[in-house]
Chain A
Amino acid sequence: MSNEHYLIVSYFVFALVSLALGVAAYRVLRRPFAAIAEAVAGLRGVMLRRTLALSLALAAVLGFLSVSYVDCNRGYDQIVKDRSLMDEINRQQLQHAGNWIVFAVLAWGFMVVVLLAIWRRKKQQEGSGDQARSGGIH
């Protein structure tokens, strides 16, 4: 495989691998998050779940795109000659994709705190409503 072919193939392969990392992260979190979203928002929890999926995929692609060949200030011919540079850039793209997914997961952790607080309040309101109703019967 010539260096130019290697450059083209590796770029798109690593783009797909980065995206796959985001999708894998979503699949790890999907089931518990869906249960939380359903407990808090009922049927509208689907929207939250889709937002989680989208944000993790976007974070992965963003990480991949944040490392660019243009930034290394070399001409195309110089980039094609240097296969070690391509490997280095590919590694950095994966590294940044991983880091952005981590940021996104931590941000969602804070979001889930808010969702749980809403769920707790909802349960308390339901509990006090039941108490008021049973008090009215007596």
Chain B
Amino acid sequence: MSPHGIVVLASFVIAVLLLIVVDRLLRPGLRGLLEDVTALPPATEFYLRAFLLVIVLVVLAAVLGAQHADVKDGAHFMEYVWSVANGLQDVFQNLMIVLLVYAALITVLMASLRRKH
């Protein structure tokens, strides 16, 4: 496998692990919150699926579009690490933006539905 292939594969694996961690951390709380606020089970399902879809697409898009620093044959270990880190910057940045927008969305949802209880 070429050095560039190794870097892309490593970035992809780290991005998938990141996705799993984010999903595992946020999903149970999000489900409880949505069930409490919406009182309509399909709405809970819609927002949970939208959440998963959004984080998967944004992370995969960032991995695809990441600009990896050029790594030559026989490069040192840390050169691979720097190249992967360079690519992961976009992944983390886009994921953070999407999580903030999603948090804003849930805040609007709570503000518009909670006061009617």
Supposing A36-B42, A109-B50 touch, asked if A120 and B57 sit within 8 A by C-beta, the answer is: no
Instruction: Given A105-B53, A106-B105, A124-B116, verify A32-B65 contact (CB < 8 Å).
Output: no
Q: Give the interface segment out of B11-19, B72-80, B107-115.
A: B107-115
The contact string, 1 if C-beta is below 8 Å from chain A, for chain B 11-44, is: 0000000000000000000000000001111111
Contact A95 B53 (CB under 8 A): no
Residue of A nearest to B97 (CB): A102
B57, B101, B102: the one within 8 Å of A98 (CB): B57
On chain B, the number of residues with a Cβ less than 8 Å from chain A's Cβ atoms is 32
Complex contacts, B102 vs chain A, CB 8 Å: 106, 109
Residue in B closest to A110 when the chains form the complex, CB atoms = B105
* Contact A36 B113, beta carbon cutoff 8 Å: no
Establish whether residues B109 and A99, one from each chain, have CB atoms under 8 Å apart when the complex forms. Answer: no
A-B contact count (CB 8 A): 101
Chain B residues contacting A35 (CB-CB under 8 Å) are 40-42, 45
Chain A window 31-60, contacts with chain B (Cβ cutoff 8 Å), 1 for yes, 0 for no: 111111001000000000000000000000
**B10 at the binding interface (Cβ < 8 Å):** no
Chain B residues whose C-beta falls within 8 Å of the C-beta of A121 in the assembled complex:
116
Q: B22 → chain A, closest Cβ, in Å?
A: 15
B53 touches A99 (CB 8 A): no
Tally of chain A residues near chain B (CB < 8 A)? 34
Query: Among the listed A91, A97, A109, which residue makes an inter-chain contact with B47, where contact means beta carbons less than 8 Å apart?
Result: A109
Secondary structure call for the B interface: helix
Interface centre among B40, B60, B109 (most CB of A within 10 A): B40
The residue among B44, B57, B108 with the most chain A CB atoms within 10 A of its own CB is B57
Main secondary structure of the interface of A (DSSP, over half): helix
Tell me which residues across on chain A come within 8 A of B112, comparing CB atoms. 113, 116-117
Query: Which residue, B46, B50, B57, B62, has most C-beta atoms of chain A within 10 A?
Result: B46
Also in contact, A105 and B43, with CB within 8 A (given A94-B61, A98-B60, A117-B112): no
Chain B hits for A36, CB < 8 A: 40, 42-43, 46
**Does B58 make an interface contact (CB < 8 A)?**
yes
